[in-house]
Amino acid sequence: MTDIQYLKGVGPARAELFKKLGIETVDDLLFYFPKKWEDRRLSRPLAAVEKGRGLNAQKENLDYVERVCVIFGKILSVRDLYTSGSLRIFKTVMDAGGYEAEASWFKSHSRRFDVFAPLRKDIKPGEKIWLTAVPEDPLFKTRLRVEEYYRADDPLAQRVHINRIIPVYPLTGGITAKFMRSAMYRAVLEYAPGKGEFLPGRLLGRRTLIARDMALKAVHFPENYFELKEARRRFIYEELFLMALAWAVKRRQTRATAKGFTYEIRKRLLTPFREKLGFEFTASQKRAINEIFSDMAAPAPMARLLEGDVGSGKTAVAISALLLAAENGAQGAFLAPTEILAEQHFMTFKKYLKDLDVRFALLTSGVKAKEKKDILDRLEKGEIDIVIGTHAVLEEKVKFRDLRLIVIDEQHRFGVRQRAALRRKGDKADMLVMTATPIPRTLFLALYGDLDLSELTDMPPGRRPVKTESVDEEAAFKIVRSEVARRRQAYIVYPLIEESEAKTLKSVKAEFERLKEAFRGSRVEMLHGGMPGREKERVMNRFAAGDIDVLVATTVIEVGIDVPNATVMVINNAEQFGLASLHQLRGRVGRGRWESRCLLVAHSASAAGAERIEAMCSTNSGFEISKKDSYIRGVGEVLGVRQHGDMEFRIADIARDKEVLKEVMEDRDALLAEDPYLSKKENAGLRHNLLKLYAQKWNLIDLS
């Protein structure tokens, strides 16, 4: 593979800069895909002047293409102006083919040199030039502020920079857009033809995908929208297909593993636990428990996702699984994404398992050193059956005697990398991950393709829907006061911990003082992720015990917190939160006997923000919410799909590319049914690329 520094025009210094973008070889550069494209084709004269309103892009509805105002014309006159301030203006009038345009460059004055000297050389009356520009004033569309210019006789300009659709890349200091485009153009010319096809011909035919080398040229320098769309689709398909294959192989591998132990359902702990609970399991809790128990009794390790809306009772299901492990003499770990939540689970354990013959402990940073040492010691000796904690439990120094079950609560808050670390820890352990984020079917397959799914589809009886309204702060606070007067409790959430420079969003710290005043006579405290673990724990415990009336918090309380006496959730800057977060936050109330309210206070609402608020007010069901487009996009963000390193997509986006994903899943299943180990000749390329990308990252051994 050719080192990037040997690409013409790059050299060692620029190669260093490219490294910051993750580009070390020419290949890396070729697969450094644009994040969007600019349509810099010359179009009808005056229409073209309206930036961002290209008729074509609009008709085609490509949201990744931006129309740019492009002018081609002959310079008629040139004037160099000084303004009263330090600004200098280089003003030209040009004949832009049927109309006259006034195009200007602006620069700050310099005493030391003539800022327009280079311009004056290129831009002379009679010369023909290309410009990209923005209208100075929407009313005078022929008065333009120049952004880039190219001389008509510049041989590369029209191939790389202007009068065509050009690529737009994420950049870094020292690498300009223009340089990047030029380098890419050279790389594509010289190296793209060698990028061979590896998708089997049958798939290409079935999905009418364009060939790889062609797509590579077209994705960077498309001749038209058709090419651009097809090139993108080809690479999106390619990326998703490899991922889907990797999931399938991973899953098969897990199923073929022998964990080397089995379980017997003795009910020594399970029965007393059920009796102590004080409620009957719902039908779907029972079903989930059965599915989990049968996985645990099977020879292969369990890999299962338990999905259930907020408040559907996942914890009790998890505890059942942990008790099955414990009564079989094995160890289990119950992991939560935050210390607050781990602490709360610990309290739940204390409540339900107090008189049972099972040993459990909490392991978080809040635990004192001496106690911690003792817990670690007992874990290693096997004197603790269940440990409850955060990802700190994954640390190397935590050793188990016989860890066989790992339960991960609110799985979407953990990275896949942490999940993998967990897997290594448990070696061949059973794994149950839980989430309250409803995920549409295809998305589930894409995100958790190696897991089986159990769903909690019904709610514990007697739940009252939370009344959700969009109100102003005053109305919200009035309701908070009246609930507090009835001895209920309230959450008031702000998006930030501290005031930001922009000041458009409210923060916990800034508002806290004001709210203490506003709710004078009530017990007001704050809680945010920036506080030390012990402090958070103390505040949360006091809130749970009813010693705090109003909790001013960030989204640290978003996941899992269960305080039935809390009946009001006020969300400030509600327009800023994604649907998944809003729904999670709302899930903190409506957990007890009382009617609860969720009050959304918007401080400025974009159309999208208003749409989300409207969606929240119209339904309580996470499932309904999960069908909204904006939710699905949000899930992608929540799950950190593009960042977490295990699926580094260059162009695909599983939330957005649902249609392609469906095709991919179908094609993958058909292909594997015919050639499960990709051993046929026509699949050799696929196999090679799959292993290259995923073998190490996902520990795929099944194919090698």
If the CB atoms of residues 199 and 544 are measured against ligand ADP, the closer one turns out to be 544
583 binds, among ligand ADP, Mg ion, none (CB under 5 to 8 A by kind): none
State the minimum distance, in angstroms, from the CB of residue 314 to Mg ion: 5
What does 54 interact with, of ligand ADP, Mg ion, none (CB < 5 to 8 A by kind)? none
Question: What is the separation of C-alpha 53 from the centre of its chain, rounded to a whole number of angstroms?
Answer: 30
> Is residue 34 involved in binding ligand ADP (CB under 6 A)?
no
Sign for the pseudo-dihedral over CA of 106, 109, 110, 115 = positive
How far apart, in whole angstroms, are the C-alpha atoms of residue 590 and residue 598?
9
The answer to whether 562 contacts ligand ADP (rule: CB under 6 A) is yes
Site for ligand ADP contains 623 (CB under 6 A): no
Determine the interface stretch with ligand ADP among 190-198, 275-283, 477-485, 621-629 (rule: CB under 6 A): 275-283
Q: CB atoms < 10 A from the CB of 441, how many?
A: 10
Which residue, 549 or 562, is less far from Mg ion as judged by CB?
Answer: 562
Tell which positions 524-583 bind Mg ion, by CB under 5 A. 560
**Which run of H or of E encompasses 435?**
strand 430-435
- Residue 282 within binding range of ligand ADP, rule CB under 6 A: yes
Name the binder of 312 from Mg ion, ligand ADP, none, CB < 5-8 A by kind: ligand ADP
Q: Which residue is nearest to ligand ADP (CB)?
A: 313
CB-based contacts of 138, cutoff 8 Å, min separation 6: none
The verdict on 622 binding Mg ion (CB under 5 A) reads no
Residue with tokens 């309250």: 436
Using the contact rule CB under 6 A, the part of the chain among 287-295, 311-319, 327-335, 614-622 near ligand ADP is 311-319
Q: Which residues pair with 70 in a beta bridge?
A: 132
Interface size with ligand ADP, residues (CB under 6 A):
18
Q: Give the number of residues in contact with Mg ion, rule: CB under 5 A.
A: 1
Cβ contact 237:245 at 8 Å: no
Nearest distance from residue 560's CB to ligand ADP, in Å? 6
Min separation Cβ 44 and ligand ADP, Å: 57
Per CB under 6 A, does 316 bind ligand ADP? yes
Measured from the CB atom, is 382 or 564 closer to ligand ADP?
A: 564
Closest CB to ligand ADP among 226 and 279? 279
Question: Rounded to an integer, what distance in angstroms lies between the CA atom of residue 296 and that of residue 655?
Answer: 32
Does 589 bind ligand ADP (CB under 6 A)? Our answer is no
Q: To the nearest whole angstrom, how small is the minimum distance from the Cβ of residue 311 to ligand ADP?
A: 5
Q: How many helices (H) and strands (E) does the chain have?
A: 26, 21
Q: Taking contact as CB under 6 A, which single stretch among the options 5-13, 124-132, 279-287, 354-362 is the one that binds ligand ADP?
A: 279-287
Q: List the one residue from 132, 315, 331, 454 that touches ligand ADP (CB under 6 A).
A: 315
Binding residue (CB under 6 A) for ligand ADP from 220, 314, 412, 488: 314
Q: Distance between CA 252 and CA 77 in Å, rounded? A: 72
By C-beta, is 71 or 589 nearer to ligand ADP?
Answer: 589
Q: Please state, as a whole number, how many other Cβ atoms lie within 10 Å of the Cβ of residue 699.
A: 13
Q: Report helix angle 314-327 to 339-353, nearest 10.
A: 60
Across the beta sheet with 303-308, what order do the strands follow?
360-363, 386-389, 331-335, 403-408, 430-435, 303-308, 452-456
Which of the listed partners (ligand ADP, Mg ion, none) does 164 bind, with a CB threshold of 5 to 8 Å by partner kind? none
User: What strands, in cross-sheet order, belong to the sheet with 165-168?
Assistant: 65-67, 36-39, 165-168
- Asked if 132 touches ligand ADP (CB under 6 A), the answer is no
Biggest CA-to-CA distance, the chain: 95
**Closest C-alpha to 73, from 109, 99, 111:** 99
CB closer to Mg ion, 180 vs 386: 386
Residue 590 binds ligand ADP, judged by CB under 6 A: no
**Nearer Cβ to Mg ion, position 301 or 560?**
560
For position 308 contacting ligand ADP by CB under 6 A, the verdict is: yes
* Four-point Cα dihedral 127, 133, 136, 142, nearest 10: 50
Q: Does 311 bind ligand ADP (CB under 6 A)?
A: yes
422 binds, among Mg ion, ligand ADP, none (CB under 5 to 8 A by kind): none
6 binds, among ligand ADP, Mg ion, none (CB under 5 to 8 A by kind): none
Query: Binding residue for ligand ADP (CB under 6 A) from 62, 310, 599, 671?
Result: 310
Which residue matches tokens 């917190």? 561
Q: Which does 45 bind (CB under 5 to 8 A by kind): ligand ADP, Mg ion, none?
A: none
Of the pair 222, 308, the CB lying nearest ligand ADP is at 308
- Contact between 387 and 310 under an 8 Å Cβ cutoff? The reply is no
Q: How far is the CB of 36 from ligand ADP (least distance, A)?
A: 39
Q: Helices 339-353 and 533-544 meet at what angle, rounded to 10?
A: 50
| 451 binds, options ligand ADP, Mg ion, none, Cβ within 5 to 8 A by partner type | none
345 lines the binding site for ligand ADP (CB under 6 A): no
3-state SS assignment for residue 411? helix
Nearer to ligand ADP, 129 or 544 (CB): 544
Site for ligand ADP in 424-443 (CB under 6 A): 436
Specify the 3-state DSSP secondary structure of 628. coil
Give the separation between CA 145 and CA 171, rounded to whole angstroms.
Answer: 24
Go through the chain and tell me how many residues it has. 704
CB closer to ligand ADP out of 87 and 283: 283
Strand pairing category for 100-108 and 87-95: antiparallel
The two beta strands, 452-456 and 430-435, are unpaired
Q: Is 312 among the residues that bind ligand ADP (CB under 6 A)?
A: yes
- How near is the Cβ of 644 to ligand ADP at its closest, in Å? 23
Taken in order 124, 127, 131, 136, is the CA torsion positive or negative? positive
Q: Which residues, numbered 440-499, are part of the site for ligand ADP (CB under 6 A)?
A: 460
Do 646 and 697 touch, CB atoms closer than 8 A?
A: yes
Which residues 6+ apart lie within 8 Å of 266 measured at CB? Answer: 327, 328
Q: Tell me which of Mg ion, ligand ADP, none is bound by residue 281, counting a contact when its beta carbon lies within the kind-specific cut-off of 5 to 8 angstroms.
A: ligand ADP
Retrieve residue 277's tokens.
């609970």
Contacting positions for Mg ion (CB under 5 A): 560
Which residues contact ligand ADP (rule: CB under 6 A)? Answer: 279-282, 285, 308, 310-316, 436, 460, 560, 562, 591
